[in-house]
Amino acid sequence: MNKMKQNCFFTLVMIFAAATFVFTACDGSKQEKQAKQAKAAHTAGVLLVTFGSSYEVPHQTFKKVKERVQKEFPAEKIRLAFTSDFIINKLRAGKGEGALNGQKINISRPQEAIEAMLNEGYSKIAVQSLHVIPGSEYEQLVKAIDEVKNKHQGVEITLGKPLLDSDKDIEEVAKILAEKFKEEIKKGPVCFMGHGTPHQADHVYTKLEAILQKTNPHFFIGTVEGKGVEVKKSSIDAVIAKLRKLNPKPTQISISPLMSIVGDHANNDLNGVSGEKNPEEQSWRERLEAEGYKINAVMKGLADYPEIVAIWLSHLSNSKR
């Protein structure tokens, strides 16, 4: 009888030990899975790349865009890089505008940011261009990323397209802008200022204007440089020539930047008060006021509209697939 009890006790001990082993193994497997997931999240990051700005308001815009991207990809680290050496050096020297003056802000170039992320253990980096058109700035970014990829074999680095990359993008942005400016267009023409470029991508502005004018012929697009491949159509002189043909003559014109942020061009070339007598040195506001128009300035950049940021986000998501 005692021997039987001993055998039963031994059997129970073995069953308990086996169960403990199974549960421990399962728990260990769960912990291992969680650890792998945590590691995968840590090694994946997003790098937002823009031309940059030394003005305070654009930095607030960049912050909101980062927060929006972080919400879409909560497990990933979101960083920002500028492509303009002039702006980077200006900020690092503490020579930003307004409230940024005196603050030494260390903004990285795309290559620097990617290298830093790689050194921290990131193996998957999704770069998203915040440029408006696929022009020379974007092409330089493509080249920079290719150089990093060639240097670091086996690292996954993707690149999301700029805002107006495809005809579908152009149509969507036109639809959004037409809706955003539906009240302004009732009171008079709306003139958007793009940057402009000698690159073939300058044609994008003409395409966008044509689609906008299907919703209302009083939408116009010009460029700050006025030196693109569509110079005869995109300079402020060309825009004014179109406005002069309108009958009856409008009393009000709304102006707004067709740029990601409200930076130097928007504050000075679009809505500035230079006091210059030479028309070539004057802002759009000054040129249009000289024509007798009342000016309504809508100082919001494209990245200030959530619906437009959503397009950049879709490009980011597509690049990660």
Asked if the structure places residue 309 within a domain, the reply is: no
Last residue of a domain, one of 162, 189, 223: 162
**Assigned domain for 206 exists:** yes
Same domain as 291, residue 185: yes
pLDDT for the residue 235:
87
Q: Are strands 156-160 and 124-129 parallel, antiparallel or unpaired?
A: parallel
Q: Which CATH number fits the domain that encloses residue 286? A: 3.40.50.1400
Residues 186 and 295 in one domain: yes
Same structural domain, 183 and 247: yes
Task: Report the domain count for the chain.
Answer: 2
Element holding 178 (H helix, E strand): helix 167-180
* Whether 154 and 272 share a structural domain: no
Neighbours of 18 (CB within 10 A): 10
216 plus 258 within the same structural domain: yes
Question: Is residue 118 one of the residues assigned to a domain?
Answer: yes
The answer to whether residues 202 and 179 belong to one domain is yes
3-state secondary structure of 105: coil
Predicted confidence at residue 17, as pLDDT, reads: 46
Q: Does some domain include residue 215?
A: yes
Do 254 and 193 reside in the same domain of the chain? yes
Q: Tell whether 83 and 185 lie within a shared domain.
A: no
Question: Quick one: which of 91, 119, 96, 94 has its CA closest to 107?
Answer: 91
pLDDT (0 to 100) of residue 321: 87
Is residue 67 in some structural domain? Answer: yes
Pick from 226, 212, 224, 217: nearest CA to 189: 217
Q: Which residues contact 237 (CB under 8 A, 6 or more apart)?
A: 226
In a domain? residue 59: yes
Cα–Cα dist 30/27, whole Å: 5
Q: Does 86 map to a domain?
A: yes
What residues of the chain score a pLDDT lower than 50? Answer: 1, 5, 8-10, 12-27, 33-41, 229
Residues 6+ apart with CB under 8 A from 101: 94, 95
Query: Is 4 a domain residue?
Result: no
* Residue 234, pLDDT score: 67
Whole-Å CA distances, 266 to 263, 271, 277, 283: 5, 6, 20, 9
DSSP state of 95: B
Give the strand order in the sheet containing 219-223: 219-223, 190-194, 252-257, 294-297
Q: Residue 43: its pLDDT value, please? A: 85
- Give the per-residue pLDDT at 228: 53
Rg (CA), the chain: 28
Among 162, 178, 197, where does a domain finish?
162
User: Where is the domain boundary, 147, 162, 177?
Assistant: 162
pLDDT at 9: 47
Give the domain extent around 134: 40-162
